[in-house]
Structure 1
Amino acid sequence: MELDEMKQAWQSLDRRLAQQQALNLRLLREGGMDRLRRGLRPLVWGQAVQVVVGVVVMLWGAWFWSTHLGVVQHMVCGIAMQAFGTLMIAFAGRLLQLAQGVDYAAPVLQIQRRLARMRAWRVRVEAPVFAVLGAVIWVPAMLMLVQADFDRWNGDYREVAPWLGGHLMFSGTVSLALVVLVYLLIRRAGRLRWLEDSLAGSAVRRAEAVLEEIARFERDAGPQAG
Structure 2
Amino acid sequence: MELDDMKQAWQELSGRLDRQQALDWELWRISHMDRLRRRLQPLVWGQSVLLVLGVLIALWGIRFWSTHVHIWQALACGIAMQAFGTLSIFFPARVIAMVCTIDYAAPVLEIQRRIAGLRAWRVKVEAPVFGVLGSVIWIPALLMLAQYGMDIAGVDGWRDASGLPLWLIIVGAGSLAVTGLLYWLVCKLGRRRWLEDSIAGSSVKRAQVMLGDIARFEQP
Q: Secondary structure at the match of 2:153?
A: coil
Shift of 1:110: 1.1
Which residue in 2 is equivalent to 1:206?
Answer: 206
Match of 1:224 in 2: none
Q: 1:12 to 1:130 in 2, by over 3 A?
A: same
The farther-off stretch of 111-120 and 165-174 is 165-174
Paired residue secondary structure (2:44): helix
Paired position in structure 2 for 1:60 = 60
Q: Report what 2:87 is aligned to.
A: 87
Q: State TM-score, norm by structure 2.
A: 0.87
1:77-226 aligned at under 5 Å gives the runs 77-158=77-158, 167=167, 170-220=170-220
* Corresponding position: 1:28 with 2:28: yes
* Distance in structure 1 (CA, Å) of the matches to 2:9 and 2:160: 95
**For residue 71 of structure 2, what is the aligned residue in structure 1?**
71
Q: How many residues align?
A: 220
Deviations 1:16-51 (A, max 9, x none): 553443233222211111111111111111121122
Could you tell me how far apart the structure 2 residues matched to 1:43 and 1:73 are? 37
CA distance in 2 between counterparts of 1:189 and 1:12 reads 62
C-alpha distance 179-10 of structure 1, shift in aligned 2 (>3 A): farther
Unaligned stretches of 5+ in structure 2?
Answer: none
Task: Identify unmatched segments of 5+ residues in structure 1.
Answer: 221-226
- Provide the rounded CA distance (Å) in 1 between the counterparts of 2:11 and 2:194: 50
Greater shift after overlay, 127-136 or 207-216?
A: 207-216
Aligned to 2:51: 51
CA distance in structure 1 between the aligned counterparts of 2:194 and 2:2, rounded to whole angstroms: 62
Percent pairwise identity: 57
- For residues 157-179 of structure 1, the C-alpha deviation after alignment (integer angstroms, 9 at most, x for no partner) is 44688767755653443222111
- Alpha-carbon separation, structure 2, partners of 1:169 and 1:148: 23
Task: Kindly state the Cα deviation for residue 141 of structure 1 after the two structures are TM-superposed.
Answer: 0.5
Q: What is the alpha-carbon distance in structure 2 between the residues aligned to residue 191 and residue 94 of structure 1?
A: 27
With 14-23 and 37-46 compared, the bigger mean Cα shift is at: 14-23
TM-score (norm 1): 0.85
Counterpart Cα distance in 2 of 1:78 and 1:101 = 35
1:195 Cα offset (Å): 2.1
- Amino acid corresponding to residue 26 of structure 1 in structure 2: E
Deviations 1:92-138 (A, max 9, x none): 12112111111111111111111111111101100010011001101
Q: 1:148 to 1:17 in 2, by over 3 A?
A: same
> In the alignment, is the contact (CA less than 8 A) between 1:98 and 1:118 conserved in 2?
yes
Shift, 1:189, TM fit: 3.3
Q: CA deviation at 1:15?
A: 4.2
